A and B are shown apart, each in its own frame.
Chain A
Amino acid sequence: MMDALPKDFLRRTRCDSAASRPQFTNCPTMIVMVGLPARGKTYISKKLTRYLNWIGVPTQVFNLGQYRREAVQTYKNYEFFRPDNEEAMKIRRACASSAMKDIANYFAKEQGQVAVFDATNTTRERRGVIISFAKEKGYKVFFIESICDDPEIIEANIMQVKLSSPDYENYDKEEALVDFLKRIDCYKMSYVSLDEEKERHLSFIKIFNVGSRYLVNRVQDHMQSRIVYYLMNIHVTPRSIYLSRHGESELNLLGRIGGDSGLSSQGLKYARALSEFIRGQSIKDLKVWTSHMRRTIQTAEALGVPYEQWKALNEIDAGVCEEMTYEEIQATNPEEFALRDQDKYRYRYPKGESYEDLVHRLEPVIMELERQENVLVICHQAVMRCLLAYFLDKSADDLPYLKCPLHTVLKLTPLAYGCKVESFYLNIQAVNTHRDKPTDVNIARKPEEALRTVPEHL
């Protein structure tokens, strides 16, 4: 029974805003990339944007190269970027203005909180323009500069992401490489790096040689602090992350959610199959992580290698619905059941958690995954959906419905700007635990409508 509490309180406790934590920042922030071509600016922009969106900060990348490709339909060669090419300069300046206009729109009309301005921004003059623009609008500015003089890294970058760019569709590899290197030279003459002294009043991070060194200046607020922490933990060393659920559990068989049961006989078979699979992959220095729940630990035990238990990887807490079947939930809490279908991401089980809470809980796991190299994470359905959503940049709406079936290993390998996914079904039968969103999510719906998408069980 609620006593006379302000409506605000009721709204807050339900599903609204400040889910698990308070505001990150009070005003919109522009993150401005700085650096010569092929220094990883777009890689950082996309990765950072993916991370910020995942933790609930609406973020978007504004890539100047794309604006330029729209303005100048066909790319001829590096001459476009020559500093004495007046015509091109005019176009490039217009593109920058256009991008900034879109940023203003993103903040004002689309509830954006962070805009990542992905361009070279290599002159103090260009940065000055951006700073004035931000000041006028009341945005905070944080610069991220990537500095790299290792020719091997630069060439690897070019090979990975530049050669497949629309700019070089009609070039062969060697020609493209030569042209791109000349393009970089066009910028070098006028490149002025962020200066510790002259620009000491700006907020920025300078990343040297893919993270061996960082210079951090004037972090203004919580979010910039988190961004710096994230940037300092990511790396580009090739590796793979394997995600899998525990083997089928006793409660899975009964169609019951949550709990802390052991593996069924099929589940044990899966554990052994997983062990063989992992051995077959010949992974160097593999770390294995489980939750604190019996079923993931039992699964890991079969691997015969050391593993680490993380409480943060425990399955979503279904509160009063723990160990119930969907049928029972419908019978005892039909309204809750409907509310969950209306907004599965934000819905919090009574005395339990929401997917939104889960994401917050998993953030340190993601951070450590970024630091690590080869890792196998043995977890649970809702948890795996959250982790997958991070790696594959899925929205909050898609996340709770991602398909993560039992007895299937997903191998994620970072590639170019994204993640390659390989799915391995280890051929051990298991129940299906995936419940799609039903068509009728109305609170007054009939039980048949509510239970239409419940998968079969004993």
Chain B
Amino acid sequence: MSVIENNTEQCGNSLTRELTQNPLKKIWVPSSKNGLPERHISQRKVCMTNCPTLIVTVGLPARGKTYISKKLTRYLNWIDVPTKEFNVGQYRRECVKIYKSFEFFRPDNEEGLKIRKQCALAALNDVRQFLTDEGGQVAVFDATNTTRERRETIIRFAEQNGFKVFFVESVCEDPDVIAENIVQVKLGSPDYTHCNTEEAVADFMKRIKCYENSYQPLDEELDRDLSFIKIIDVGRRYLVNRVQDHIQSRIVYYLMNIHITPRSIYLCRHGESDLNVKGRIGGDSGLSARGKQFADALGQFIQSQNISDLKVWTSQMKRTIQTAEAVGVPYEQWKALNEIDAGVCEELMYEEIQLKFPLEFALRDQDKYRYRYPKGESYEDLVQRLEPVIMELERQENVLVICHQAVMRCLLAYFLDKTAEELPYLKCPLHTVLKLTPVAYGCKVESVCLKVEAVNTHRDRPMNVNVHRTAEDALQTVPPHL
């Protein structure tokens, strides 16, 4: 912050410093005396928070704490908030190589308690490192944290290090939900590799019992100065207390929109378009003959899947709408699902981009996620644009999203937890439907190729990304076209 103020004073008469446009992201930044862009803070959309945040889960075993931790972490990373989860159970497994039985968790097991406390402290230490030294912004401390005493320890730790604390408590007494949790994620745990199902369930139930007696849920009165959300019965009811800042507000909104009702999300691109065939990017062309075939095949495929209450979403571009028309069910158009805006490169072939804008072409290969087309968008912009789509996808149940290559990559990256580096190179070929089904802590992906030929539109990162490379090197990975 002080960098900007100092410089302004130095400039004396001219109160406005020179601006240069960062060549990669096309962001205007003040330039220092030697003409180079200055180190400029918040170029992000908004400053999420001033200091790092520690999210602390609270709840008995099998209440979905790890599910929530992982999902929340995935979401925050996708919206560009560096987040990491720290699961104390994992620390315990590293410490105590072999899990014998629930007895380890008995409240009168002195040895067990000692080890568990050590693990919690080791995890907190790693949290401190992540938030203070590694540029992390949010750390999710995933453990039961069921006693006020344990929570006090964490609060003191956070205070010492200047972290904000936000508790996420999951309270659930529905035996069906708990049983389902145990089946879905506990039986497959390393703790129970040597047990059969009945044994594992019996042991785990006893484990839960060990915590029950000392469980002190967050209390509206006693904990009224803490910031927290209490999730009751998998989202039927929420108690939200003292949201401190923007990121906590976004976290609350996200948690209030997710659900665990089984469903599937189908992602696909529009059918092959006329511009696809010519190797041109962007534009708003119609479907080619093969594209229309795909649309019909898609209609048949969807019918055969017998999906209950399927919602169909398209962008506002002709090619996705034409594709949806063939499916024959009502669909909703989202402008937010429009393909990435290639600005001055709209409707050009890669060969033409290399010819007219070789520097831009190289910059894009250097950092495809952050690179913004002149007068266009970047993948980073796309993610921001798509956030309301993701939020609504979380709320919905069965949905088919007919979109575009870059858009589909962004959505896929969210569901499959891909990094910003991998995202722009995810393979999303034409005429292929991806069926995503949430399972355990992640997402099952089934890829269905609908057997209608189409051009390949995937351009891999070339070996040579130097701005001085030859045209040949630049165009090495361009897929064939007419």
- Please report A residues at the B interface, Cβ cutoff 8 Å: 2-3, 5-6, 9, 12-13, 18-23, 196, 200, 212-219, 222, 225, 228-229, 232-233, 260, 262-263, 268, 271-272, 275, 292-294, 297-298, 301-302, 304-306, 308-312, 322, 351, 357, 360, 364, 368, 371
Instruction: Pull 17 A–B residue pairs with CB atoms less than 8 Å apart, ordered by A.
Output: A2-B318, A5-B318, A13-B318, A18-B332, A20-B334, A21-B334, A22-B332, A196-B237, A214-B241, A215-B238, A216-B256, A228-B256, A229-B249, A301-B15, A306-B42, A310-B46, A360-B335
Residue of B nearest to A204 (CB): B237
Q: In the complex, what distance in Å separates the CA atom of A222 from the CA atom of B253?
A: 12
A275: min CB distance to chain B, Å: 7
Q: Are A312 and B45 in contact (CB under 8 A)?
A: yes
Q: Are A304 and B239 in contact (CB under 8 A)?
A: no
Set of chain A residues within 8 Å of B322, measured between Cβ atoms: 5
Set of chain B residues within 8 Å of A232, measured between Cβ atoms: 240, 243, 249, 252-253
Is residue B97 within 8 Å, beta carbon to beta carbon, of the partner chain?
A: no
Set of chain A residues within 8 Å of B381, measured between Cβ atoms: 311
Contact of A310 among B41, B45, B252 (CB under 8 A): B45
Q: In the complex, what distance in Å separates the CA atom of A410 from the CA atom of B246?
A: 25
Q: Are A306 and B28 in contact (CB under 8 A)?
A: no
B83: min CB distance to chain A, Å: 20
Q: Are B335 and A20 in contact (CB under 8 A)?
A: yes
| Size of the chain B interface, CB-CB below 8 angstroms | 57
Most buried by B among A19, A213, A262: A213
Residue of B nearest to A3 (CB): B286
Given contacts A3-B286, A229-B253, contact A304 B332 (CB under 8 A): no
Is residue B8 within 8 Å, beta carbon to beta carbon, of the partner chain?
A: yes
Set of chain A residues within 8 Å of B236, measured between Cβ atoms: 200, 217-218
Q: Are A233 and B249 in contact (CB under 8 A)?
A: yes
Given contacts A216-B237, A272-B15, A311-B45, contact A368 B246 (CB under 8 A): yes
Residue of A nearest to B25 (CB): A292
Contact of A215 among B15, B237, B253 (CB under 8 A): B237
Residue of A nearest to B47 (CB): A308
Q: Are B392 and A222 in contact (CB under 8 A)?
A: yes
Given contacts A3-B286, A310-B45, contact A302 B16 (CB under 8 A): yes
Q: Are A225 and B395 in contact (CB under 8 A)?
A: yes
B168: min CB distance to chain A, Å: 15
Most buried by A among B17, B237, B241, B242: B237
Given contacts A19-B335, A229-B253, A368-B246, contact A302 B241 (CB under 8 A): no
Is residue B316 within 8 Å, beta carbon to beta carbon, of the partner chain?
A: yes
Q: In the complex, what distance in Å separates the CA atom of A5 from the CA atom of B384?
A: 32
Is residue B27 within 8 Å, beta carbon to beta carbon, of the partner chain?
A: yes
Mask, B293-318, CB within 8 Å of A = 1, is 00000000000000000000100101
Q: In the complex, what distance in Å separates the CA atom of A109 from the CA atom of B125?
A: 63
Contact of A297 among B9, B19, B336, B375 (CB under 8 A): B19
Interface residues of B in 314-365 (CB under 8 A from A): 316, 318, 321-322, 325, 332-336, 346
Q: In the complex, what distance in Å separates the CA atom of A272 from the CA atom of B5?
A: 15
Given contacts A196-B237, A218-B237, A308-B42, 5 further A-B contacts (CB under 8 A): A23-B332, A228-B256, A233-B249, A305-B4, A308-B44
Contact of B15 among A216, A225, A304 (CB under 8 A): A304
